[in-house]
């Protein structure tokens, strides 16, 4: 009896999963999805870009069964995160934000770097055409003296200008959708900023009760990596007012 | 002559502070320390899929279509369907030792297995399998030493012995005369 129920459960799981892979094929036919801001590799077009502690590596993946290594570019030290936007890559290190152009996707070219005044912090970056936001966390293994959200004007992509610094508790990943910027602050919650004025984020609320590490704003859903698992929020009606939907903690 | 004595003074002060450093970090005879957990290369590099499992130490996330992928730190990837966001369903688990990173495109999962980049085909559930591997893309993920919780602490550990296999984790234990520390 037990074996039969185990078998049925197994078949059910297989059924669910085979359903899911079909869906994933349909929904994501020729595109990659979205990752969090603290990722160390990302897919852009037919390329996979990987950062290790010191360098950026490019792999051509049009044939997934034969990833082809294309280039390795020395970037700096303590490289931590990579974030794609359009034909650019934003790379965060413990002391610097680097911007790379993908006009030659085989071999990304550095177009700018902005050194933080605050050294030795963990620092994911998100960006669009005109603005880049980075969080600098001074606690934990990265050390440093001050945690902050920093705002760069990148209208001139080759020379980012620091336009704002907002003191924070312990920021981790971040994400943005339309006029909303989400900043994960670990035990201090998820801060939501109105970025109608992109260079002057205005905090509109702080969601508490979970330990927030990273977010992906994906269409109508905000996916949050929290301690123990993940949580989903509805951001369809108002991105500035994420509404809790569900979470999986085990 | 004066210049030489200044240089000598600088040198001796360097040497002096160096001595103090050595004195400070001399390992204790017995202490809490880390012991490597070894696996055979065949076992540590085996990619496989199975039924859902509990999230113990949820890591990085990635989404495409209605699927959410969450790293289970150091052991693999949870695959979750959230077509109904009010009721997300775990579909399965992909095992990859020391997993920390992932991206997904066209039904292919890109992740790390120890320090290797692996591509896993999840298009057919009956045949979830590794389809390619590039070795040593992430040399810093190979766990040559246990992680420190902050940059100031000193941690002691049993020195890795590559002849015993691949290190897949560290166990905190009472250890005697540690030869390695950082």
Q: What is this model's ipTM?
A: 0.84
Query: Does residue A3 sit within a domain?
Result: no
Q: What is the mean pLDDT of residues B67-92?
A: 95
- Answer yes or no: do B67 and B54 share one domain: yes
Mutation target to probe the B interface, by most B beta carbons within 10 A, among A11, A30, A63, A64 is A64
For residue A23, pLDDT over 50 is answered with: no
Number of domains chain B contains: 2
Cβ count near B75 (within 10 Å): 19
* Residues whose CB falls within 8 Å of the CB of residue A122, separated by 6 or more in sequence, listed in order: A80, A94, A135, A136, A137, A140, A142, A172
Q: Residue B19 has what pLDDT?
A: 32
Closest-CA distance of chain B to residue A147, Å: 16
Q: What is the mean pLDDT of residues A31-45?
A: 87
List helix spans (H) across A94-179: none
For residue B151, pLDDT over 90 is answered with: no
Cβ count near A121 (within 10 Å): 28
Among residues B61, B108, B174, B173, the alpha carbon closest in space to that of A59 is found at B108
Domain of residue B65: give its range: 48-95+99-140
Q: What angle do CA A147, A152, A155 make, to 5 degrees?
A: 170
For residue A21, pLDDT over 60 is answered with: no
What is the overall mean pLDDT for chain A? 85
- Answer yes or no: do A125 and A39 share one domain: yes
Domain of residue A102: give its range: 33-158
B109 to chain A, any CB pair closer than 8 A? The answer is no
φ and ψ of A14, to 5 deg: -60, -40
Closest residue to A245, CB basis, from B55, B63, B86: B86
Closest residue to A16, CB basis, from B59, B91, B148: B91
DSSP string for residues in B105-128? ETTEEEEEETTEEEEEE-SSGGG-
- Answer yes or no: do A67 and A108 share one domain: yes
Q: What is the mean pLDDT of residues B34-45?
A: 92
- Answer yes or no: do B105 and B55 share one domain: yes
H helix and E strand count, chain B: 2, 13
- Answer yes or no: do A46 and A145 share one domain: yes
What gap in Å lies between CA B170 and CA B158, rounded to an integer? 10
Higher per-residue confidence, B146 vs B24:
B146
Q: Residue A139 has what pLDDT?
A: 65
Which residue in chain B has the smallest CA separation from A230? B58
Q: Residue A117 has what pLDDT?
A: 64
CA distances in angstroms from B178 to B6, B169, B174, B175, listed in the order given: 39, 18, 10, 7
A210 to chain B, any CB pair closer than 8 A? The answer is no
- Answer yes or no: do A69 and A91 share one domain: yes
Q: What's this model's pTM, rounded to 2 decimal places? A: 0.82
Q: SS3 for A143?
A: coil
- Answer yes or no: do B116 and B69 share one domain: yes
Q: What is the mean pLDDT of residues A243-249?
A: 94
- Answer yes or no: do B55 and B135 share one domain: yes
**Contact at CB, A64 and B134, closer than 8 angstroms:** no
Q: Residue A119 has what pLDDT?
A: 55
What gap in Å lies between CA B74 and CA A141, rounded to an integer? 18
pLDDT band at B126 (very low <50, low <70, confident <90, very high): confident
- Answer yes or no: do A139 and A53 share one domain: yes
Bridge pairing between strands B129-134 and B156-157: unpaired
- A117-121, A180-184, A207-211, B126-130: which has the minimum mean pLDDT? A117-121
pLDDT band at A16 (very low <50, low <70, confident <90, very high): very low
- Answer yes or no: do B159 and B126 share one domain: no
- Answer yes or no: do B135 and B147 share one domain: no
What percentage of chain B has pLDDT greater than the value 70? 86
Q: Residue B5 has what pLDDT?
A: 45
- Answer yes or no: do A41 and A152 share one domain: yes
Q: Residue A192 has what pLDDT?
A: 98
CB < 8 Å to B72, chain A: none
Number of domains chain A contains: 2
What gap in Å lies between CA A224 and CA A214, rounded to an integer? 6
Query: Does residue A164 sit within a domain?
Result: no
- Answer yes or no: do B90 and B152 share one domain: no
- Answer yes or no: do B24 and B79 share one domain: no
**Contact at CB, A34 and B58, closer than 8 angstroms:** no
- Answer yes or no: do A150 and A64 share one domain: yes
Query: Does residue A53 sit within a domain?
Result: yes
- Answer yes or no: do B14 and B28 share one domain: yes
A94 to chain B, any CB pair closer than 8 A? The answer is no
For residue A48, pLDDT over 80 is answered with: yes
């Amino acid at each position: 009896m037990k074996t039969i129920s185990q078998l049925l459960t197994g078949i059910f799981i297989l059924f669910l999963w085979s359903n899911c892979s079909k869906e994933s094929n349909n929904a994501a036919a020729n595109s990659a999805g979205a990752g969090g801001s603290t990722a160390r590799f990302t897919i852009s077009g037919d390329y996979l870009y990987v950062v290790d502690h010191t360098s950026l590596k490019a792999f051509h993946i049009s044939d997934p069964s034969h990833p082809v290594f294309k280039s390795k570019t020395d970037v700096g030290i303590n490289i931590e995160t990579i974030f794609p936007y359009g034909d650019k890559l934003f790379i965060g290190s413990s002391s610097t934000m680097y911007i790379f152009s993908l006009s030659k996707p085989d071999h990304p070219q550095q177009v700018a770097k902005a050194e933080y005044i605050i050294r030795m912090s963990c620092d994911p970056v998100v960006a669009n055409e005109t603005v880049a936001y980075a969080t600098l966390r001074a606690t934990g293994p990265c050390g440093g003296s001050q945690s902050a959200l920093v705002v760069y004007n990148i209208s001139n992509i080759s020379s980012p200008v620091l336009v704002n610094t907002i003191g924070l508790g312990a920021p981790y990943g971040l994400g943005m959708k339309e006029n909303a910027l989400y900043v994960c602050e670990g035990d201090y919650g998820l801060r939501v900023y109105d970025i109608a004025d992109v260079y002057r984020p205005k905090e509109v609320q702080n969601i508490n009760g979970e330990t927030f590490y990273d977010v992906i704003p994906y269409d109508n859903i905000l996916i949050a990596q929290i301690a123990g698992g993940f949580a989903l929020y509805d951001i369809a009606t108002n991105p500035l007012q994420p509404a809790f939907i569900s979470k999986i903690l085990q | 002559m004066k210049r030489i004595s200044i240089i000598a003074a600088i040198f001796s002060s360097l040497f002096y502070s160096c001595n103090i450093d050595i004195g400070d970090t001399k390992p204790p005879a017995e202490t809490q320390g880390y012991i490597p957990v070894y696996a055979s290369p065949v076992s540590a590099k085996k990619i496989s899929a199975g039924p859902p499992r509990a999230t113990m130490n949820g890591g990085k996330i990635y989404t495409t279509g209605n699927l959410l992928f969450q790293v289970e730190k150091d052991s693999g990837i949870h695959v979750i369907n959230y077509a109904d966001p009010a009721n997300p369903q775990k579909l399965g688990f992909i095992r990859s030792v020391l997993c920390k990173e992932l991206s997904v495109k066209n039904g292919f999962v890109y992740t790390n297995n120890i320090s290797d980049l692996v591509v896993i085909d999840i298009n057919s559930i009956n045949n979830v399998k590794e389809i390619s591997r590039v070795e040593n893309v992430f040399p810093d993920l190979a766990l040559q030493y246990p992680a420190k919780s902050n940059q100031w602490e000193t941690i002691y550990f049993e020195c890795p012995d590559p002849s015993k296999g691949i290190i897949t984790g560290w166990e905190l234990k009472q250890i005697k005369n540690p030869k390695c520390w950082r």
